[in-house]
Amino acid sequence: MRVKPPAPHSSFREACTALLDKGDWYGLYRTAMQWRVAGGGMWTPDAWLMDICSALLHKQPKTAVHCCDMALTTWIDRPLDRRVLQYVRGVLVCDHVGDPIRALDDLAAATDGPEWLAELAAGDLKHGQELAARSRVRAPRVGPSPDFTGEHRSEAAPPEQPVPADGAIPPLWNIALPHIRSTA
């Protein structure tokens, strides 16, 4: 099976932004999936952030964590991009899944991430440590952050060219972050 050349990433970003603004979780899910598979979005955090936002709109925080895990296990192999998704995973596990003890490793890893993320991650790590000290959760609600294996990769469109620098701020970061950090 041959994968078609991807549409411009900007068109997927615009479509995802409009669907996120409307609160259309299913439309956002479908568009993010199309971006990842046929649009070259598998290789960088942006499309994954939209998939995560879709799961949160659908009130499925464990699915949002699973999106992070799929990206970290199979697709995102650049170390600083991984730190970005580990930060997101840590916030999800701490605040949405309600297991701050399990979030600490991801948040600590993110403090070694890109410079623009380190201070934010350090603040959330401190917040997570405070919550973990009071947490009554003993049985893990999620497993640890997965290592990259690259297994189970299916055919997908090539990444955007030029490929953004490893650890660059994802263009949709400022749009996705309020949804990821919100527990409302």
Question: pLDDT, tens digit, for every residue of 60-112?
Answer: 999 999 999 999 999 999 999 999 999 999 999 999 999 999 999 999 999 99
Q: Give the N- to C-terminal CA distance of the chain in Å, as an integer.
A: 43
Percent of the chain with pLDDT over 70: 95
The whole-number average pLDDT for the span 45-49 is 94
Distance CA 48, CA 32 (A): 7
pLDDT of 172 higher than 50: yes
Rg of the chain over Cα atoms, rounded to whole angstroms, equals 16
- Cα dihedral value 88, 93, 94, 100, nearest 10: -130
Choose the weakest-confidence range: 1-15, 33-47, 59-73, 104-118.
1-15
Which CA distances in Å does 182 have to 7, 70, 88, 103, 133?
A: 31, 22, 12, 16, 21
User: Alpha-carbon distance 149 to 38, whole Å?
Assistant: 22
Q: Are 180 and 56 in contact (CB under 8 A)?
A: yes
Predicted TM-score of the model (pTM): 0.91
Walk me through the domains of the chain, giving residue ranges and CATH numbers. Answer: 9-148+158-167 (1.25.40)
